[in-house]
Amino acid sequence: MTAMLVEKNVPLQSCNTFHIVARAHSLVRVASEADVQTVVASSEWGPSPKFVLGGGSNIVLTGDVKPLVLKVEIKGKRLVQETAKAFVVEAGAGEDWHDFVTWTLQQGYPGLENLALIPGTVGAAPVQNIGAYGVELQDRFESLDAIDLQTGRIFTLNAAQCGFGYRDSVFKHAPQAQTAGLGLAGRALITHVRFSLPKPWKAVLGYADLEKKIAEANIAQPSALQIYQWICDIRRAKLPDPDVIGNVGSFFKNPTVTPEQRDDIIARDPKIVHYHLADGSVKLAAGWLIDACGWKGKSVGNAGVYEKQALVLVNRGGATGGEVMTLARAIQTSVYERFGIRLEPEPTVV
Ligand code: EPU
């Protein structure tokens, strides 16, 4: 059995991309399946509640973390299989997501380029089914391995078993909170994730920001590497770099409404940005709604609304989780009062 080192009173400011000051009462770094199983088998720590921490890019810490923090540091990237139809690649949950995307492209396995530069780790990517510029993780997902934190058993889940939705999966739901299927939040730790990158590769274009790049560069059939570069440029231009300004990307999900609700809103605000979905419902741009309420650039204490993208809340220096949540609630209230729409936060509030 591997030795287990429990660190006490560990500062988490550098472990969350909001850079909120908070501490973990107890923290264990896990670099392998065996490390996790050692924790589960421990008479002292096995039965206690646990919090799985990846890159901390989708959490708001509102105080010190009392459950045992399992900091996932499982590494490794490899090609598992190449078939006529796809490259299957795998990464350890503790790998940095963007580094992994970059590696796949360098190796000649295209398919993840639209998801470049998303902060966080590989293991956190399925938890909220990350997505950007027309591609969601679930479109490239093959399977993942996880460990049951109560029994130490290793199991594998396919896409259907992960229950992917828009910025959602089985890993975001507490065991009792989900009606259909099993919630796995706090119950499972993802150790490895596999992706199936289809052959022949096909570019996913069509997003306004990308179309603009194509028109500017006058390249009709861009390569995967070219798209990767454009995505990095687009994101750097409108999203704050969490290493410089603390943030968790989009703070709210884009809400979905019925065509009737949309008609009602358009009657009041003809300029509202919206997209039609295949099932007949309509997605509204939450950033536009927040912007329309005049929030861009505003602050509550040290928490603020990013100047270039109203959907992104930022830490202007020394913000507490409480300030972030007060700002978030004020935004929710004004969007509800003006448009009758309830915005749902994207990150997990801890
Ligand atoms: N808009 C405004 N004002 C703003 C912000 C946006 O008018 O302050 C308008 C834009 O002009 C645009 C529309 O709203 O017409 C949508 O904005 P944008 O293209 O920036 O995308 P988004 O809907 O705000 C979503 C994802 C992002 C993802 C981008 C690109 C969600 C919650 N967010 O943002 O994901 O990168 O599309 O695909 O779905 C994340 O989840 O953390 C994230 C960054």
**CATH number, position 125:** 3.30.465.10
Residues flanking ligand 1, CB < 6 Å: 132-133, 249-250, 253-254, 273, 285, 287-288, 291, 296, 309-311, 346
Question: What are all long-range contacts of 152-156, with beta carbons under 8 Å and residues at least 24 apart?
Answer: 152/36, 152/37, 152/40, 152/41, 154/33, 154/191, 155/188
Determine the structural domain holding residue 251 and report its residue range.
246-349
Looking at the CA of residue 208, tell me the nearest atom of ligand 1: 19
Q: How many residues does the chain have?
A: 350
Whether 43 and 112 map to the same domain: the answer is no
Out of 288, 289, 307, give the residue to mutate to test ligand 1, the one with the largest number of ligand atoms within 8 Å of its CB.
288
Same domain for 174 and 253? no
Smallest Cα–Cα separation from 121: which of 96, 91, 144? 96
Give per-residue burial for 111-127: e unless 16+ CB within 10 Å, then b: bbbbbbbbbbbbbbbbb
Q: Classify residue 214: in a domain, yes or no.
A: no
* Mutate-to-test residue for ligand 1 from 60, 231, 250, highest number of ligand atoms within 8 A of CB: 250
What total number of domains does the chain contain? 3
- The alpha carbon of 286 and the centre of ligand 1 are apart by a number of angstroms equal to 7
Flag whether 226 is in a domain.
Answer: no
Residues 256 and 312 in one domain: yes
Residue 210 in any domain: the answer is no
Specify the pTM: 0.95
Query: Which residue has its alpha carbon closest to ligand 1 atom 41?
Result: 250
Same domain, 280 and 342: yes
SS3 20: coil
Domain containing residue 38: CATH number: 3.30.43.10
Q: For the chain, what is the radius of gyration of the CA atoms? A: 21
| Three-state DSSP state, 179 | coil
Catalytic residue among 140, 196, 250, 323: 250
How confident is the prediction along the chain (350 residues), in pLDDT tens digits per residue? 567 899 999 999 999 999 999 999 999 999 999 999 999 999 999 999 999 999 999 999 999 999 999 999 999 999 999 999 999 999 999 999 999 999 999 999 999 999 999 999 999 999 999 999 999 999 999 999 999 999 999 999 999 999 999 999 999 998 875 455 578 998 999 999 999 999 999 999 989 999 999 999 999 899 999 999 999 999 999 999 999 999 999 999 999 999 888 888 888 888 989 888 888 889 999 999 999 999 999 999 999 999 999 999 999 999 999 999 999 999 999 999 999 999 999 999 99
Domain identity same for 137 and 183: yes
Q: Are 305 and 290 in contact (CB under 8 A)?
A: yes
